């Protein structure tokens, strides 16, 4: 069994710190380990929990306990339901936007505004079937998408931001920051012409915190510690922001 750190657990739910490179559930193309597979192995009773999906190939994929997703290279906290009652309760919280998800990310460029809201609908990219777009020329259905952000640090041509998506579109944070010309650091899909920076070899996005209600209607807040690459990048920011020293005569 793969090793995944558990951040919080009770009889209904488990919150884990997903490492980079791990898919949340099989997609019909990748046969490697997945978070759904780990859940089914560690909690066998969860195999019947959740909703399966049908792939374009027609194959039906079970997703034990999976209520929401993180991209393969995104690290951080994700919650999984141990029973169907909790799955439905969490699903309704996501639909009602009462679950609060907070991410942190590094972006290219020193953002001018300290905080703001990106309110741009998202559709399919015309240039690449793998991409989504919040810019002119996107095709297909344009679905509303809102992302709030606050700049935590600036320096060296980069910004470190806290991000709260108010909707849950695929690649939403990556797409929205690309649309305002501050793409995420080392995002080879949405910023292919930028060099990998700050020590990152994967997209610089971390699911830092999630807040949800448990079955007793009590608010639970779970926070994921920074992975090593985030710690390295934050140290680089300390260097960027050190005051220059001058020789005293």
Report whether 240 contacts 156 (CB < 8 A).
yes
Report whether 186 contacts 196 (CB < 8 A).
yes
pTM over 0.85: yes
CA–CA dist 1, 21 (Å, integer): 16
Look at residue 9 in the predicted model and tell me its pLDDT. Answer: 97
Please measure the distance between the N-terminal and C-terminal CA atoms of the chain and give it in whole angstroms: 63
Which has the closest alpha carbon to 227: 40, 52, 22, 41? 22
CB atoms within 10 A of CB 147: 24
Report angle CA 211, 109, 131 to the nearest 5 degrees.
Answer: 65
- The catalytically annotated residue of 3, 62, 71, 247 is 71
Q: Which 8-state DSSP code applies to residue 66?
A: B
CA–CA dist 178, 169 (Å, integer): 15
H-state helical runs in the chain:
35-42, 84-95, 172-179, 228-240
Report whether 222 contacts 8 (CB < 8 A).
yes
71 catalytic? Reply is yes
Q: Would you give per-residue pLDDT tens digits along the chain (249 residues)?
A: 788 999 999 999 999 999 999 999 876 666 679 999 999 999 999 989 988 877 666 777 778 899 999 999 999 999 999 999 999 999 999 999 999 999 999 999 999 999 999 998 877 766 655 666 677 666 666 778 899 999 999 999 999 999 999 998 889 999 999 999 999 999 998 898 899 999 999 999 999 999 999 999 999 999 999 999 999 999 998 887 766 554 444
Q: What is the dihedral of CA 155, 148, 9, 46, to 10 degrees?
A: -120
């Amino acid at each position: 069994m793969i090793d995944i750190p558990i951040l919080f657990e009770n009889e209904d739910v488990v919150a884990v710190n997903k490492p980079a490179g791990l898919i949340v559930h099989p997609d019909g193309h990748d046969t490697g380990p997945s978070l759904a597979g780990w859940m089914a192995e560690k909690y066998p009773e969860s195999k019947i929990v959740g909703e399966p999906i049908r792939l374009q190939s027609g194959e039906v994929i079970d997703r034990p306990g999976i209520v929401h997703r993180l991209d393969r290279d995104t690290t951080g906290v994700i919650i999984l339901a141990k029973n169907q009652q909790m799955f439905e309760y969490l699903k309704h919280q996501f639909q009602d936007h009462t679950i609060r998800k907070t991410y942190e990310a590094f972006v290219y460029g020193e953002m001018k505004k300290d905080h703001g809201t990106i309110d741009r609908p998202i559709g399919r990219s015309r240039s690449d079937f793998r991409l989504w777009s919040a810019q002119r020329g996107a095709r297909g259905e344009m679905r509303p998408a809102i992302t709030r952000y606050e700049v935590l640090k600036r320096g060296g041509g980069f910004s470190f931001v806290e991000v709260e998506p108010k909707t849950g579109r695929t690649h939403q944070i990556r797409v929205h920051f690309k649309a305002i010309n501050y793409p995420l650091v080392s995002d080879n899909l949405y910023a292919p012409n930028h060099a990998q920076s700050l020590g990152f070899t994967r997209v610089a996005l971390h699911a830092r915190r999630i807040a949800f209600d448990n079955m007793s209607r009590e608010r639970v807040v779970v926070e994921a510690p920074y992975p090593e690459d985030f710690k390295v990048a934050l140290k680089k920011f300390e260097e960027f922001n050190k005051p220059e020293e001058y020789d005293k005569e």
